[in-house]
Homo-oligomer: A and B are copies of this chain.
Amino acid sequence: MTAAREYVVLNQPFEMYRGGRLEDVTIAYESWGRLAPDRDNVLLLFTGLSPSAHAASSERDPSPGWWEFMIGPGKPIDTERFYVICINSLGSCFGSTGPASPNPATGEPYRIDFPRLSVEDIARAGREACRALGIEQVHTVAGASLGGMDVLAYAQLFPGTYRDLISISAGPHATPFAIGLRSLQREILRSDPAWQGGRYAEGEGPMQGMLLARKLGMMTYRSGEEWLERFGRERIEDPVPLDVDPFRAEFQIESYIDGNSRKFIGQFDANCYLYLSQAMDLFDVADHGTGTVASGLARIQARRALVAGVTTDWLFPIWQQRQIAEGLNAAGVEVDLHELSSLQGHDAFLVDRERFAPMVRDFLAGGERD
């Protein structure tokens, strides 16, 4: 928990998109900047699968956020202009209601009794949180990865309540390759005996399963090109003796993936991970149209949209960015499409400041001129 985190409790039961309902839904958020007197400067930000609402530092919480280079005074998402609200996804475990939260009916965590989670639910929880804060209209809805899917769902479900959109490294739905990967991550996690069919006690979750699932995630969040440049075939300096472990790590790339993945586990609840991962597979903009991506995107009534992705992204390939841009264009949205040549794959938006910062800055500045 961080000092900057705030909470909204929704006063209506929350009907889930694919069935089931939640009582007493809490949505955690952080905010930066000041709401303008006419409330026309809200930038609503959704997150990827794993981050909290701590997208940037603030006076109350000076620790760096996950999009630190993007959000702040004078930064591309300029908090001297925008009132930025970042939402912790419904179903996550950083303050918002999710599988790790107590079920009011039992006092025990929901665990796998949590109803099936959809991207539509995450989007609507963001919408409801804004309304509870007295915000009916937002200037821009933004997000990357799962957050970008949230943006598309939001735009389909709530036409007339937003002006502009930013969708980064997302897709109108998951490809079969991305589904196969995430399905395998979920199976790896559930194969850890410590998962116990989802009934593990708090703090005794499937650590090894989470570690392996996260490692597989890392294989797809970055790119082979980046690793070739950074690591090549560099060896680990002091590997474990072979008589201790004949299959020890030998290469720098192995310890890089291991080290980065270990940072994640322990923080993130395994069941929350399963629900959020599955939501990404199930989402399809086509469901809100007549069965095609184009018909789904045609429901979106934005004025302008920034659609961006990177050429080394395997989870949301660059052709999906074109698909979103074409669909929005056909729907009359003024689209800025950016096909970025970042080396860092899907996660480039988190690290490639050089390409992402000016792009977002220019897009938002373009809106100011209208």
Q: Which residues of A contact B (CB under 8 A)?
A: 112, 116, 173-177, 179-181, 183-184, 186-188, 190-193, 208-209, 212, 215-216, 218-219, 223-224, 227-228, 230-233, 242, 246-247, 249-254, 257, 274, 278, 281-282, 284, 314, 317
Residues of B within 8 A of A191 (CB): 192, 208-209, 212
Determine whether the beta carbon of B180 is less than 8 Å from that of A254. yes
Asked whether A231 and B176 contact (CB < 8 A) given A184-B212, A191-B208, A219-B184, the answer is yes
3 interchain residue pairs of minimum CB distance? A177-B224, A176-B253, A176-B227
Closest B residue by C-beta to A253: B176
Closest B residue by C-beta to A184: B215
Determine whether the beta carbon of B183 is less than 8 Å from that of A249. yes
Residues of B within 8 A of A184 (CB): 212, 215-216, 219, 257
Closest B residue by C-beta to A178: B224
Chain B: minimal CB distance from A148 (Å): 18
Determine whether the beta carbon of A314 is less than 8 Å from that of B242. no
- Enumerate 14 A-B pairs (CB-CB under 8 Å) in ascending A order: A175-B227, A176-B227, A180-B219, A180-B253, A180-B254, A183-B249, A183-B253, A184-B216, A187-B212, A190-B247, A193-B193, A224-B314, A247-B278, A251-B281
Contact of A180 among B183, B212, B257, B317 (CB under 8 A): B257
Most buried by B among A190, A228, A230: A228
Chain B: minimal CB distance from A265 (Å): 13
Chain B: minimal CB distance from A359 (Å): 26
How far apart sit A215 and B179, CA to CA, in the bound complex (Å)? 13
Chain B: minimal CB distance from A98 (Å): 14
How far apart sit A188 and B192, CA to CA, in the bound complex (Å)? 10
Residues of B within 8 A of A183 (CB): 249, 251, 253-254, 257
Residues of B within 8 A of A232 (CB): 176
Residues of B within 8 A of A252 (CB): 176
How far apart sit A215 and B216, CA to CA, in the bound complex (Å)? 12
Chain B: minimal CB distance from A103 (Å): 15
Chain B: minimal CB distance from A281 (Å): 7
Chain B: minimal CB distance from A246 (Å): 5
Residues of B within 8 A of A257 (CB): 180, 183-184
Residues of B within 8 A of A317 (CB): 224
How far apart sit A313 and B325, CA to CA, in the bound complex (Å)? 28
Chain B: minimal CB distance from A162 (Å): 27
Chain B: minimal CB distance from A347 (Å): 15
Residues of B within 8 A of A231 (CB): 176
Determine whether the beta carbon of B281 is less than 8 Å from that of A242. no
How far apart sit A242 and B278, CA to CA, in the bound complex (Å)? 13
Chain B: minimal CB distance from A100 (Å): 15
Chain B: minimal CB distance from A314 (Å): 7
Determine whether the beta carbon of B228 is less than 8 Å from that of A116. no
Residues of B within 8 A of A250 (CB): 281-282
